[in-house]
Structure 1
Amino acid sequence: MYTDGLVLALIFGVLLDMLLGDPRWMPHPIRWMGKAIEHLEPRFRAMQLTPQVAGGLMAGALVMAVWLISLLIVVLADAIHPLIGILVQAAMIFTCISARGLADAARQVGKALAGSGLAAGRRAVAMIVGREVDQLDETGVTRAAVETVAENLVDGVISPIFFVVIGGAPLAMAYKMVNTLDSMIGYKNEKYLYFGRFAARLDDLVNFIPARLSVPLIALAASLFGGNWRSALTVARQDARAHASPNAGYPEAAFAGALGVWMGGPNRYHGRVVEKPVIGQGLGDVGPAHIQKACRLMLSTSFLSYTIAALIILAIQSMG
């Protein structure tokens, strides 16, 4: 059973994330996934197929390959010794979650703003957002950092943990391939509109439930650690579906309510202004102090997610 030793693997994986974050010196499976996509894209494009079919085949093949390889590694490790199997799953879980790395990156924006000014803040936030930053004022830089923390809570923590509960570390690894495919080929531009359509839709699908689970988790974390849990639920109910993404609006709206700030509005992407709806209309402006508050809320929600996941796994084991 995939649940054998999974709670220990989850605990070890979380501890590794909290201790190490995202060390650049360490080989990372997500980077290997990216290289696999880069290597295979021209080969699938060369097939005598429509771009949509070729892109779908590539995405499906890569996701299945990652799951099968990860499962085989876990099975072989467990056959050598159960403790080795646990440690292998822990290492996989560690590479799938990014709470520490997300908090570190966002806090770096706050430090840059406070220590070196707006230009440094723009450079720091450019490392974690896709929007153009050269015209952002301090509020814009801060809002970008807080929005990134909110949105990435789902694909950096809640979704991988959701799939750990369902299918252990191998399924979480397969999820990260879906996420990586979306980040690399899921764009609505001329190059990827058709080739990346399956990857984008698959990412929407696998994040559908975790994004909605994020709302009560964020509200619970807010109630325990000083945020406005009622407003988190209210803003999420009112504004989550206004976001262009079918999923990103849920954590973003819950964060907006919990922190008492509005988010969204127009931003520039690749030389074009994209009009995004305002989430949390009438709430206050975001300020530099909200970066730290957003990180605390994200980390609190992450630990609640880990705890609930461990309890669910234990319940599944007891029923087995």
Structure 2
Amino acid sequence: MIGIRVFLFAILIDLLIGDPVWLPHSVVLMGKGIQRLEKKYRKLSGEDEKKLKIYGFVLVFWMLTATIALSDIVFFALQLLPGKVNKICSALLISQLFAWHGLVRESMRVFYALKNEGLEGARKAVGRIVGRDTMELSKEGIIKATVETVAENFSDGIFAPMFYVIIGGPVLGYVYKVINTMDSMIGYKDKKYSSIGYAAAKLDDLANFIPSRIAGLLIVLASFPSYSIKDAWKIFQRDRFCHASPNSAQTESAVAGALGIQLAGDAYYFGKKYEKPYIGDAMRAVEERDIQRVNVLISKSTLYGIVFLCGIYGILWYIF
């Protein structure tokens, strides 16, 4: 476990400055490792689907092993530094696990692009944060895609890494991050990735099972008093499994209910149409301000989550 002050300092670093360009980012290193292993195993398998699936498990094994070893060595080495230097460096590295600043920044770029650059600029902006095809999206589609990704990434990019840092320290936080990164890079269900990304996708589903459900409940609580906590709870209960992923709709349903809008529906990925159920009720049409609203809602949810996790930390500290 880490000190609670280091944990809170790491959150503050992420909130205020995000990812400084002068500091090498761990996710970039993870991404390069995943790309190299994917390329290597595709060559070794000869694109045979059965072999690719097996190599997908091997890829996951090596990425987990490397992440545990490197992060353990780094954080052990930091303990050899003077107290304040150790805490500052540890907080900087832990802050890289959180995406609060980046999520708000990138989603608000879409908001301002809609205001100032029209559909073409907004499509490019939303393309930076979603995996679906964006160049044919309508204004409504752009807003929905942005709200959905903010809702989903509240769990994946903010609460879940905080959760794992609290219950298992920074090494477990980095283990979660590499799992999530593998899923975002190769965990697709299309022909190219369905085999090699199978293990990564299933492991990500498992890792997010508990955090996503807590995150959905946090959004429901945070909807009061500005939005309808009654509708947030109703749609959360009804639609939280309306997604191919067992976890993604946990937060999306709570947001849809709180804001009184309908999300999801069919979308195109890599040129192919995927039929997806709707989440929420269209009590009103979506509008640009919903991007602002969802950012306020997930920021409030994050604060609730921090309080919750500090309580968990206190319980663990008392027990152990």
Give the TM-score, by structure 2 length.
Answer: 0.93
Structure 2 CA distance for partners of 1:283 and 1:244, relative to 1, 3 Å: farther
1:308 paired residue number: 308
Q: Match of 2:286?
A: 286
Deviation at 1:47, TM superposition (A): 5.0
Map 1:44-123 to 2 at 5 A: 44-47=41-44, 50-123=51-124
AA aligned opposite 2:6: A
Q: Is there any run of 5+ residues in structure 2 with no aligned partner, and where? A: none
Report the Cα distance in structure 1 between the residues aligned to 2:19 and 2:89, rounded to whole angstroms.
18
AA partner of residue 208 (structure 2):
N
The answer to whether the 8 Å contact 2:241/2:250 transfers is: yes
Where does residue 10 of structure 2 map in the other structure? 13
Aligned amino acid, residue 319 of structure 1: I
Residues 69 and 290 (structure 1), Cα distance of their counterparts in 2 relative to 1, 3 Å cut: same
For normalisation by structure 1, the TM-score amounts to 0.93
1:177 corresponds in structure 2 to 178
Number of aligned residue pairs = 316
Using a 3 Å threshold, how does the CA distance of structure 1 residues 283 and 64 change in structure 2: closer, same or farther?
A: farther
Worse-matched range after superposition: 96-105 or 281-290: 281-290
Percent identical pairs in the alignment equals: 35
Contact 2:260-2:282 at 8 Å conserved across structures: no
Q: Report the Cα distance in structure 1 between the residues aligned to 2:304 and 2:219, rounded to whole angstroms.
A: 9
Aligned to 1:36: 33
Contact 2:42 2:52 in 1 (8 A): yes
Q: RMSD of the TM alignment (CA)?
A: 1.7
Contact 1:45 1:55 (C-alpha < 8 Å) held by counterparts: no
**Distance in 2 separating the partners of 1:29 and 1:318:** 32
Of the structure 1 ranges 38-47 and 301-310, higher mean CA displacement relative to structure 2 is found in 38-47
| Secondary structure at the counterpart of residue 227 of structure 1 | coil
> What is the correspondence of 1:87-166 to structure 2 with a 5 Å cutoff?
87-166=88-167
Measure, in 2, the Cα distance between the counterparts of 1:85 and 1:310. 21
Q: Residues 17 and 99 of structure 1 are in contact (CA less than 8 Å); yes or no, is this contact kept in structure 2?
A: yes
Q: Is the partner of 2:273 in helix, strand or coil?
A: strand
Q: Which residue does the alignment assign to 1:248?
A: 248
Aligned to 1:205: 206
Change (3 A) 1:148 1:208: same
Q: Which amino acid aligns with 1:14?
A: I
Gaps of 5+ in 1: none
Q: State whether residues 78 and 90 of structure 2, in contact with CA within 8 Å, keep that contact through their aligned partners in structure 1.
A: no
